[in-house]
Amino acid sequence: MKYLKTLFLSAILSVLFIQTKAQVITLSKGIDHVKECYSAVKNAIVANDGATAQNKAKDLIQALNDVPIKYMTPAQSGVWAKYVGQLQADSNHISSVPAVANQKEYISDLTINLQIAIDGLKMK
């Protein structure tokens, strides 16, 4: 009987853990996360902190990859597809160089392309 109680409790905890891990990311939350990560990269570069900018750029790459395309309209998907590759490339360059001077070369393109992509998504 004690074994069954332990097994039952383990099953319940497993289900709760799986439900907690399987959070749905909405398009709005995904884009908000991209904006937050971009701001962290920009702030690190402005503060002349190349190492932090590198790490935050890696977070930005992950945030870009995590944007849920399945919730986009065809028009939004087209805009996102047009810019996401360049956004990832600029973020990758920032994440791969420690010198702030080199990171500044890419942050301006990243800023422009991110603004165009977000504006193109036409989210409320």
What are the structural domains of the chain?
Answer: 27-121 (1.20.120.290)
Q: By C-alpha distance, which of 107, 123, 124 is closest to 38?
A: 107
Please tell me the pTM assigned to this model.
0.79
pLDDT per residue as tens digits for the range 107-121: 999 999 999 999 999
How many Cα atoms sit within 13 Å of 111 on the Cβ side?
A: 12
What rounded mean pLDDT belongs to the chain?
A: 88
Amino acid at 11: A
Above 50 in pLDDT, residue 106?
Answer: yes
Contact status, residue 32 vs residue 73, Cβ threshold 8 Å = no
Percentage above 70 pLDDT, the chain: 80
pLDDT per residue as tens digits for the range 24-76: 689 999 999 999 999 999 999 999 999 999 999 999 999 999 999 999 999 99
Q: At what angle do helices 27-46 and 100-121 cross, to 10 degrees?
A: 150
